[in-house]
Amino acid sequence: MKPYHDRRKFIKTTAAAVAGFGITGTSFANSFNLIGNGAGKQNRISGTRVGIIGLDTSHSIAFTKALNNPAAGSEFGGYKVVAAYPYGSRDIESSFKRIPGYTDDVKKLGVEITGSIDELLNKADVILLETNDGRLHLEQALLVFKAGKPVFIDKPVAASLSDTIAIYDAAKRYKVPVFSASSLRYMETVQAVTKGKIGKVLGADTYSPATLEKNHPDLFWYGIHGVETLFTVMGMG
């Protein structure tokens, strides 16, 4: 029974890591600095105002609490969440019902709530696209790209392969940096593998929480955590 219990313990640990992101302040700041420098001088970041699209996920609260914590000092490179647009899924109940409470939570952290994405884009230098519903990501990301703002798209990057391809094609067309990832790629054990600290890896089995959602096919909703862990340690193949 020990392997089963080890697996259950791992899933609990990774679920906690996902909730807490497992990303250091340095990696957060470096991520925006890197994507801001990757698309040419015209798209370099000139400020540290963070805008959030989507208050239907706990990730929005976690990011805001971390970035806006006075005790963080310079840990996050000066980035602060200054504005947020709440929507967000309007028909996935587990997400939609969170919006009023999470809106109140971020307001208490000093974040201005905007009435539209366009209004948000005028108040922010970089964007965290946190909308839990991947079906909305292409539409929302296009507005961000047209405004020339570097953007992190939280999981799922989209709700279909065609939308995913369209997002990255549009980012290239508008010359706007975009980034998406599971935080599990930053786990110490995963990084140890990628840095060769345990020797050459010939094969790997990965697993993670992977709940399903009826509006998202296959593993789109939550499967990124196990899939990205596999690709991180094994490469693209």
- Residue 58 token pair: 């706990």
Q: Cα(95)–Cα(99) distance, rounded to whole angstroms?
A: 7
Three-class DSSP labels, 38-49: CCCHHHCCCCCE
- pLDDT beyond 60 at 11: no
Which pLDDT tens digit goes with each residue over 166-194?
999 999 999 999 998 888 888 888 899 88
Average pLDDT, integer, range 185-210: 86
Q: Is the dihedral of CA 131, 136, 137, 143 positive or negative?
A: negative
Q: In the prediction, which pLDDT does 97 show?
A: 87
Q: In the prediction, which pLDDT does 79 show?
A: 92
CATH of the domain at 82: 3.40.50.720
User: For a pLDDT cut of 90, what percent of the chain falls above it?
Assistant: 41
The total domain count for the chain is 1
Residue 187 within any structural domain of the chain: no
Query: Domain span at residue 115?
Result: 13-179
Q: In the prediction, which pLDDT does 165 show?
A: 96
Residue 121 within any structural domain of the chain: yes
Residue 5 within any structural domain of the chain: no
Which pLDDT tens digit goes with each residue over 212-233?
777 877 877 777 788 888 888 8
Residue 156 within any structural domain of the chain: yes
Please check whether residue 144 is in contact with residue 74, taking contact to mean a CB–CB distance below 8 angstroms. no
206: confidence class by pLDDT, cuts 50, 70, 90: confident
Find the range with the poorest average confidence among 37-41, 82-86, 142-146.
37-41
Residue 197 within any structural domain of the chain: no
pTM strictly above 0.85:
no
Question: Between residues 87 and 226, which one has the greater pLDDT?
Answer: 87
Question: Between residues 58 and 220, which one has the greater pLDDT?
Answer: 58
Residue 234 within any structural domain of the chain: no
Residue 222 within any structural domain of the chain: no
Q: Cα(167)–Cα(133) distance, rounded to whole angstroms?
A: 15
Cα 12 → chain centroid: 20
Question: Between residues 167 and 20, which one has the greater pLDDT?
Answer: 167
Residue 202 within any structural domain of the chain: no
